[in-house]
């Protein structure tokens, strides 16, 4: 059953009116017809199971047969602070982080950041939002992740996070799955935010690591090997998900 996010203005008491690109996707890409089932999410915590009742021009009327409310999450919200990386690697990280359930993605500008976000910044954010939406629909998330504009480490509101984990490429940092770190993660409440910081190619500079540690970050290791930036992001979020599940 296909799953799509739909804007609130298309949701009515007993039906969802699908127009524009979403309608084209249902009718011309998926080739659905009257009688086929479609699931919709409103990005506000509700899920609608519907059946296509009619198709008139470029508009499909989907009758709501069941509305569900997202269960309250027992885990803290994960915010991925990912330093900008080259090419389509950042897009890949956004896609996979969305699939893994991160609540927010915070692109970071660091000393070793290569991409220049000031060029076509708004277009880049739109592209990232599209990738996140497609990944959320594919994985049937209830809500879309919030993707913030890129910012410097010095601009982070550190007080917003109950715990900050800094992925360190080298050194004697404990593993993210170590008991001391795991206990700090599992002690967090559902309303708490956890910030996972992942550096660019080349990692954070010593000065940047010191800045993070001075603001209370816990340095952690993800592997005995040196991971690529995009690999570290996925491994870190995956390990956090496992720690929360256990």
Task: Render pLDDT for 55-100 as a digit per residue (tens, 0 to 9).
Answer: 988 899 999 999 999 887 778 899 999 999 987 999 999 999 999 9
Helices 179-186, 229-245: inter-axial angle, 10-degree rounding? 70
Q: How far apart are CA 22 and CA 16, in angstroms?
A: 12
* Three-state secondary-structure class, residue 176: coil
Record the tokens describing residue 91, joined without a space.
């897009």
- Residues 97, 200, single domain; the answer is yes
Query: What residues pair up with 130 in beta bridges, in sequence order?
Result: none
Which distant-in-sequence residues (6+ apart) come within 8 Å of 148 by Cβ? 104, 105, 106, 107
> Domain ends where: 16, 39, 69?
69
Q: Residue 11 in contact with residue 48, Cβ under 8 Å?
A: yes
Per-residue DSSP letter, 93? H
Domain holding 61: CATH number? Answer: 2.40.240.20
Range of the domain at 231: 77-245
Task: Render pLDDT for 162-207 as a digit per residue (tens, 0 to 9).
Answer: 999 999 866 678 888 888 899 999 999 888 999 999 999 889 999 9
């Amino acid at each position: 059953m296909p799953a799509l996010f739909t804007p609130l203005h298309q949701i009515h008491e007993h039906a969802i009116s699908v127009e524009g690109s979403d309608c084209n996707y249902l009718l011309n890409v998926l080739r659905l017809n009257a009688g086929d089932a479609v699931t919709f999410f409103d990005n506000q915590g509700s899920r609608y199971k519907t059946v296509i009742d009619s198709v008139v021009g470029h508009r499909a009327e989907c009758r709501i047969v069941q509305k569900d409310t997202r269960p309250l999450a027992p885990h803290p919200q994960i915010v991925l602070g990912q330093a900008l990386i080259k090419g389509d690697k950042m897009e890949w990280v956004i896609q996979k982080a969305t699939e893994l359930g991160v609540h927010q993605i915070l692109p970071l500008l660091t000393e070793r950041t290569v991409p220049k976000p000031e060029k076509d910044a708004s277009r880049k954010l739109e592209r990232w939002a599209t990738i996140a939406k497609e990944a959320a629909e594919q994985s049937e998330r209830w809500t879309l992740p919030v993707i913030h504009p890129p910012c410097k480490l010095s601009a982070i509101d550190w007080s917003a996070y109950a715990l900050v984990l800094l992925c360190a490429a080298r050194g004697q940092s404990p593993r993210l799955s170590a008991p001391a770190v795991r206990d700090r993660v599992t002690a967090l409440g559902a309303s708490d935010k956890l910030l996972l910081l992942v550096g660019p190619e080349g990692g954070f500079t010593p000065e940047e690591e010191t800045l993070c540690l001075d603001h209370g970050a816990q340095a952690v290791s993800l592997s005995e090997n040196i991971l690529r930036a995009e690999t570290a992001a996925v491994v870190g979020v995956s390990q956090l998900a496992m720690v929360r599940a256990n």
